[in-house]
Amino acid sequence: MQLKKMIVLYALLSTSLFSRAQDAPINKQSFDQINLTYPGLEKTNALFLAGKYDEAAVQLLSYYRGRKNIRHPEFNLSDESRFKGKSIGTSNLEKANNALEHKFQPHKGYGFFDYGKDINWQFWPVKDNEVRWQLHRVYWWQPMGLAYRSSGDEKYAKEWVAQFRDWALKNPLGLSDDNDRYAWRPLEVSERVQSLPGTFNLFLKASDFSPAFLLEFLKSYHQQANYIPLHYSELGNHLLFEAQRLLFAGSFFPEFKDAASWRKSGISVLNTEIKKQVYADGMQFELSPTYHVAAIDIFLKAYNAAKMAGVENEFPESYSKTVENMIIAIANLSFPDYNNPMFGDSWLVEKSGRVRQFQSWAKAFPQNNTIKYFASEGKEGAAPAYLSHALSVGGFYTFRNGWNVQSTVMILKASPPGEFHAQPDNGTFELWVKGRNFSPDGGVYVYSGDAEINKLREEYRQTKVHQTLTLDNKNMVITKARQNKWETGKNLDILTYTNPSYPELDHQRSVLFINQKYFLIIDKAFGKATGNLGVHFQLKEDSKPVFDKTKNRVHTSYTDGNNLLIQSLNTDKVSLNEEAGKVSYAYRKEVARPAFVFEKPKNDGNAQRFITLLCPYEGDTVPEVSISFLTGNDFEKGELRISLSIDGKAQTIKTKL
């Protein structure tokens, strides 16, 4: 094995970029992966059988340039009016032009890096694993294709052909364990398998797209697609991506001998995984809104690819019903601006992008009025007939008084473990009021890399930077929260759940949405464990909060009058302390933001409680709030009997927690 690697390395060092751009000889073996009896390849097959391999390659290229029965979802030869002379956008043009100089942007969280005149595909400019992995997704190749189709300038095609050959030569499977880890990780392979057909169509008519290069391309593509079913990831969204993209490969290139087996493998995996990965309430088991949406698109792309090959009946009726349920789940997890909470490695999204997703989903499910409502931004269809809603299996609870921008919406997470993307954050929530998210989740910032990168990731995963309870500021155990009560009504919605957060310490949180206006949160920490308890809160970066330690309250000071009061109503001693906070709305970008904690000690085995009011209000006059406990109030038995007064208006609340 070492001798083989040394020979490969010697070949790489002794081969110039110029020689890599030359056509390889065409012989009988060049057609090994192609089913020459496929309908439409009769002329190619006749030339092949006559031993006229160069002419067979010319005919094969002619076949692909004239192929009309296979339509790419985005890029097709016949769509000339879509491309010629049309703008491809500043970002795409920048990527395409920088790529001519071998300046690539592997990851949108960073800028462009110079990979050298003789491209160094092993260059690792930032010790972030995503940068090295995503380099091999070659995201700039399609922008190069768009630039070519828009301008007609052959320089883009010439460079792409050279880069494709360069990548294939310098990243052979088995070069080294380290290189295989990045260039041949199944997810990256599947990304190329997904994107290369579009790039293929964009460049197919270029003069540098020679018959010899066609065969090189098909050989490399076949090797990459064939690699996937032998190296599927074990679970999660990676496995879904790989299966869907393999199915697409078999549908877009049905001329391959292995195309049918690729389709069969992809469909089999997806039929199995949709049952494993999607809960009865519609949530994908990674419990990340971002990856949940990705899974929806994976399942639909797979179905569309199967339709392209005429094998969509291999998906049962339950498959599409499950996908439809997943879309309704994400609708329930949406704020009025179409964003979802940044739980579990999620990011903010542009409203326009999410609307386009709903529009594509509406085409798949035209009879669903809820999907139509979101796709049309409320102009068609109908909002769900309910307001507050629980996704009880996935553990996401939405308190809501409406579906428009003026609504109040709290989305809280109390879930089972969620695989890689899970954070130790059960109990955390985001609160939206009248167009403002007052308490966005901290986000993720970065994924993985060297020790410094991993430390940055852990900072954002900490329990104490989420809106929940901690013991000695330590991370809670990632485990399953148990729903005790979920009940909705005209004037009161209530959730109670229990989370085994620490060894010998459980956390029970009750959230009461009162009069569809404000929230009372009752936290109970019980068990033998002792230490310092804290209930943490984080605010939006521009909230300019005022801290009133005398009254144990914090309020925002927005000049538009849309404000929030967070006040401890404990009658025992609780201290209010400011904390360092930050939030990341996009990869490797962060801003400081206000954060604070209500704290008190737990010195024995007795239960301790925090009672906190979250009160949205209008104007700059902070509401005066008080609480009194009525006869029959018994926290130990879960009997809540209180009178809550806000600006002199008292309300009696009697319920069971």
174: which 2 tokens? 């088995």
**The pLDDT of residue 418 is above 90:** no
pLDDT at 419: 75
Q: How far apart are CA 389 and CA 399, in angstroms?
A: 7
pLDDT above 70 as % of the chain: 97
The pLDDT tens digits for 562-596 are 999 999 999 999 999 999 999 999 988 999 999 99
**The pLDDT of residue 617 is above 70:** yes
Q: Which residue, of 193, 212, 231, is where some domain finishes?
A: 231
Q: How far apart are CA 283 and CA 411, in angstroms?
A: 14
pLDDT at 306: 94
Residue 359 sits in a domain of what CATH number?
1.50.10.100
The pLDDT tens digits for 257-293 are 999 999 999 999 999 999 999 999 999 999 999 999 9
Domain check: are 435 and 577 in the same one? yes
Whether residue 8 lies inside any domain: the answer is yes
Whether residue 505 lies inside any domain: the answer is yes
Whether residue 65 lies inside any domain: the answer is no
Domain check: are 275 and 133 in the same one? no
Domain check: are 352 and 394 in the same one? no
Range of the domain at 206: 1-20+72-231
When pLDDT is cut at 50, 70 and 90, the band that residue 152 belongs to is: very high
**The pLDDT of residue 468 is above 70:** yes
**The pLDDT of residue 520 is above 70:** yes
Q: Which residue, of 337, 366, 385, is where some domain finishes?
A: 385
Average pLDDT over residues 640-652: 95
* Count of Cβ atoms closer than 10 Å to residue 121 Cβ: 21
pLDDT at 422: 85
Average pLDDT over residues 145-159: 97
Domain check: are 381 and 398 in the same one? no
DSSP string, 383-397: --S-SSEEETTTTEE
Whether residue 66 lies inside any domain: the answer is no
For the question of whether the overall pTM of this predicted structure is more than 0.85, the answer is yes
pLDDT at 448: 80
| 405-431 exposure pattern, b = at least 16 Cβ within 10 A, e = fewer | eebbbbbbbbbbebbebbbbbbbbbbb
Amino acid making up residue 73: P
Averaged pLDDT of the chain: 94
Domain check: are 320 and 304 in the same one? yes
pLDDT at 15: 40
Whether residue 646 lies inside any domain: the answer is no
221: which 2 tokens? 């593509």
Residue 487 sits in a domain of what CATH number?
2.70.98.70
Is 63 among the catalytic positions? no
Whether residue 64 lies inside any domain: the answer is no
Domain check: are 442 and 576 in the same one? yes
Whether residue 67 lies inside any domain: the answer is no
| Active-site position among 139, 221, 279, 291 | 291
Domain check: are 145 and 169 in the same one? yes
Residue identified by tokens 């299966």 is: 243
Q: Which residue, of 385, 412, 431, is where some domain finishes?
A: 385
Of the candidates 137, 149, 72, 66, which has an alpha carbon nearest to the alpha carbon of residue 105? 137
Average pLDDT over residues 463-469: 98
Whether residue 131 lies inside any domain: the answer is yes
> Are 513 and 463 a contacting pair, CB within 8 Å?
no
When pLDDT is cut at 50, 70 and 90, the band that residue 79 belongs to is: confident
Average pLDDT over residues 159-165: 98
- 563: CB partners within 8 A, 6+ apart: 555, 556, 557, 616, 617, 618, 619, 620
Out of 11-25, 222-236, 560-574, 609-623, least confident range: 11-25
Amino acid making up residue 481: A
The pLDDT tens digits for 1-46 are 444 444 444 444 444 343 345 788 999 999 999 999 999 999 999 9
When pLDDT is cut at 50, 70 and 90, the band that residue 171 belongs to is: very high
446: which 2 tokens? 């970065």
Domain check: are 560 and 430 in the same one? yes
How many domains is the chain partitioned into structurally? 3
Domain check: are 579 and 476 in the same one? yes
pLDDT at 78: 87
Segment holding 164, helix H or strand E: helix 154-170
Which of residues 548 and 457 earns the better pLDDT score?
Answer: 548
Domain check: are 87 and 183 in the same one? yes
Average pLDDT over residues 222-238: 95
The pLDDT tens digits for 105-149 are 999 889 999 999 999 999 999 989 999 999 999 999 999 999 999
pLDDT at 12: 44
Domain check: are 219 and 166 in the same one? yes
DSSP string, 614-650: EEEEESSSPPPEEEEEPTT-BTTTTEEEEEEEETTEE
Average pLDDT over residues 471-488: 97
Domain check: are 371 and 446 in the same one? no
> Are 375 and 359 a contacting pair, CB within 8 Å?
yes
